[in-house]
Amino acid sequence: MNRKKIYYALVTVLVLIAIGWGIILFVLFMEKSRADFYGNLYDKGRAPEFSLTDHNGNRVKMSDFKGKAVLLFFGYTKCPDICPVTMGTLKTVTDSLGEDSANVQVLFITIDPERDNQEKLKSYVPYFSESFIGLTGTPEEIDKVADDYNAFYMKEEVVESESGYLMGHTSSVYLVNPKGKFVLRYPQNRMDPLRIAEDIRNIL
């Protein structure tokens, strides 16, 4: 074996070790950047376009909010527990963002369009924060937007309850980045407002 061959063998081994380490470091880095977010990664591409009526009666499109981070929540005004809890959390999130909150839009989309008309939303949504926007539409429009966003809802007649009917619905909050892409999703067991605010600062 001559020196040249040994030299090439050594270089090959070193290059292979370097590549190996590169892969390991890259994987570790990816893991870390994943773990850096508090919300669950929700890598579903562009948030689908919609056209709905806001609580002031204006037609609003998802693309109108480009340039802002959007927190999107599906609920209904007759919801006594999860919805006001979540809206209160989102209010704390925007409050704790201070000046950055100007670049964040909270959208509340009703999944009970039969009862939640524009006036109902107007007295409900701004109660939590003047900056929040409530959205409603025809039952067909709501059906489509829920479907496009993988949100589920159903009417529940609670036996013997005086509440009329309640709604079962997807209770996670979606975070869309300023480019209009889904980034994260917050299930009900990940509702720490300060950590949500931290995620938002990281994507602004």
Instruction: Give the whole-angstrom CA distance, residue 137 versus residue 191.
Output: 28
Residue whose tokens read 């963002």: 97
Is 136 within 8 Å of 124 (Cβ atoms)? no
Judged on CB neighbours under 10 Å (0-12, 13-18, 19+), 81 is exposed
- Using CB under 8 A, pick the residue from 123, 148, 155, 202 that binds other proteins: 123
Any residues with CB less than 8 A from the CB of 199 and at least 6 apart, and which?
37, 38, 39, 175, 184
Asked if 91 is part of the footprint of other proteins (rule: CB under 8 A), the reply reads: yes
- Using CB under 8 A, pick the residue from 92, 117, 118, 177 that binds other proteins: 92
Q: Which element (helix H / strand E) includes 72?
A: strand 69-75
- Which C-beta is closer to other proteins: that of 110 or that of 170? 170
Asked if 202 is part of the footprint of other proteins (rule: CB under 8 A), the reply reads: no
x/- track of binding to other proteins for residues 127-166 (CB under 8 A): xxx----------------------x---x-xxxxxx--x
Tell the smallest beta-carbon distance from residue 88 to other proteins (Å). Answer: 4
Does residue 51 sit in helix, strand or coil?
strand
Asked if 87 is part of the footprint of other proteins (rule: CB under 8 A), the reply reads: yes
- Which C-beta is closer to other proteins: that of 124 or that of 182? 124
Binding-site residue total for other proteins (CB under 8 A)? 37
Residue whose tokens read 């600062």: 201
* Cα 72 to chain centroid, rounded: 5
- Site residues for other proteins per CB under 8 A: 77-78, 80-82, 84-85, 87-89, 91-92, 95, 120, 123-124, 127-129, 152, 156, 158-163, 166, 168-172, 185, 187-189
